[in-house]
Amino acid sequence: MGVNAQDWSRRRLFPVTVRLPLAAANDSRLHRRHYVPVCLKFVLALVLALAWAALAWAYVEHWSASLRSPETRLAELCLLLAIVVLPAFMNTFLSACLLLDRRPARSRFADADFPGVTILIAVHNHADTILDTLASIASQRYPAPIEVMVINDGSTDATLDRLQSAQYPWLDVLDLKSAGGKAKALNAGLRLASWPITVTLDADTHLHPQALRQLVTRYMSDPPNTAAVAGTVLVRNSRDSAVARMQEWDYFHGIAAARRVQSLCQGTLVAPSAFSLYRTDILRVIGGWPECVGEDIVLTWAILSDHHRVGYAEDAIAFTRVPATLPAFIEQRRRWSRGVIEALRARGSLLFRRRLSTFFVWWKLLVPTTDVLCAAALVPCLVLACIGVYWPAAAMTTFVLPMALLATVVIHTAQSRMFRLLGLTVRRNPLGWLGYALVYGWLLKAASLTGYLSGLLPRHRHDDA
């Protein structure tokens, strides 16, 4: 049923005093017989990546010696770093971590052990998708109480009518008369959440039937200082356009690989609001979602700054609708990149924390630098090829391409195995893969660069809804 914001003050809510389940990750029964510590895996991957990058540097130094002059030394250095050394390091580290990655085992819990969950959905003009999202929640195999709070953020279409027609006993609708943005809507729901676990879900996202159970058991099995767990978000509308087809591979390979590696080293940097779990009490202590473009990354970094851990559940899957047109895709990725700059401004102290996650914060800082260098190096590389100097291309083929292919094969194998366990099938999408391999990276770099620049310049806040 739908209610106004003013009516919520009269609703008797359960106090959030339910005892949270103890994490069981330190139980010796969960450790494999030949357990390799996380720090050792990190050091091994780092050493391999540095060694490969050093070998790449030695190779290009040898071939570029004949071209060196004082006037071109700096430009040449940037070129070599951009197209060979940094990509070689990053792809080798990624490949090594993926090869070393073994998802931690889950504990077994009785149904009575599961905590109640509040699901928050901020919705603005999603009349076409919200009922399907609610139906996917109704299909969840979750043994504890679920409270679903949909915050109607000033929708001007038939969203509110659709919500009022929904007949679910666990559904409450908070109707905000005017649109205030996604963060404000989520915070309005957070103030009224009844259960110790809060899960956020986008209004155009469809949950796998086991998604909620997998997400919560991952949290319950993780170390005791875990305050949030990122779910896995994949593409639902890949048949809509060529742009959506390419994004299907990005979510299935690129984003999933980054989250797996970050999780391996206990450094998950983004719990996306599209589908993630949070401890309700910690959300309230840190003040909820900040009102900015990248509200989910800034929130995640606030959790990390408060000395908590953020996990990742690779098999808790939600399928979402991605931008189907090129302008919409570029605008979305611009917002994401702007969110990184906002997070650095708000929580830059994470750069100097003595923990494994600090490495990935610096990695986030390295990505825009690499994007800039790649863009600057493209024209000189083409010029060199035109005058018969082919060693830059040879260096990329030797040191960058093999590691990129290795990472792709490893992540595809891991994701395919996880799909089979969940009863899913990896859809064939050869045209999307071709576009992803040849075009997507350049589109992403262009969108990211403009996002980073907009984040560095003063600008009025706008919503991410």
With a cut of 50, say whether residue 4 has pLDDT above it.
no
Residue 455 has pLDDT above 90, yes or no: no
Report the alpha-carbon distance of residue 422 to residue 107 in Å, rounded: 18
Q: What is the pLDDT, as a whole number, of residue 65?
A: 65
Bridge partners of residue 118, in order along the sequence = 147, 198
Strands 226-235 and 146-153: unpaired
At 72-111, the pLDDT tens digits run: 666 676 677 777 888 899 999 999 999 998 887 888 899 9
- Arithmetic mean of pLDDT over the chain: 85
Mean of the pLDDT values across residues 164-188? Answer: 92
Any domain includes 135:
no
Residue type for 356, please? Answer: L
Q: What is the pLDDT averaged over residues 413-439?
A: 91
Cα 411 from Cα 417, distance rounded (Å): 10
Residue 218 counted as domain residue: yes
Q: Using CB atoms within 10 Å of the CB of residue 4, give its burial: 0 to 12 exposed, 13 to 18 middle, 19+ buried.
A: exposed
pLDDT band, residue 401 (cuts 50/70/90): confident
Which comes out higher in pLDDT, residue 29 or 160?
A: 160
Does residue 2 sit within a domain? no
| Residue 18 domain-assigned (yes or no) | no
- The DSSP letter of residue 287 is T
Q: Is 150 within a domain?
A: no
Residue 152 has pLDDT above 90, yes or no: yes
C-alpha 135: how far from its chain's center? 24
Whether residue 298 is predicted with pLDDT greater than 70 in this model: the reply is yes
Structural domain range at position 387: 33-114+208-465
The predicted-structure confidence for 212-260, as pLDDT tens digits, reads as follows 999 999 999 998 999 999 999 999 999 999 999 999 999 999 999 999 9
Q: Give residue-wise pLDDT tens across range 182-196.
A: 999 999 999 999 999
In a domain, residue 162? The reply is no
**How many independent structural domains does the chain possess?**
1
pLDDT exceeds 50 at position 462: no
What's the rounded mean pLDDT across residues 12-39?
48
* 39 within domain boundaries: yes
Give me the pLDDT at residue 9, please.
32
Amino acid in position 279: R
Smallest Cα–Cα separation from 317: which of 410, 210, 399, 217? 210
Distance CA(270)–CA(277), nearest Å, equals 12
Q: What is the pTM of this model?
A: 0.86
What value does the mean pLDDT take over residues 291-313?
92
In a domain, 165, yes or no: no
Work out the average pLDDT over 258-287: 92
* Top-confidence range, 72-81, 133-142, 258-267, 390-399: 133-142
Q: What is the mean pLDDT of residues 357-380?
A: 74
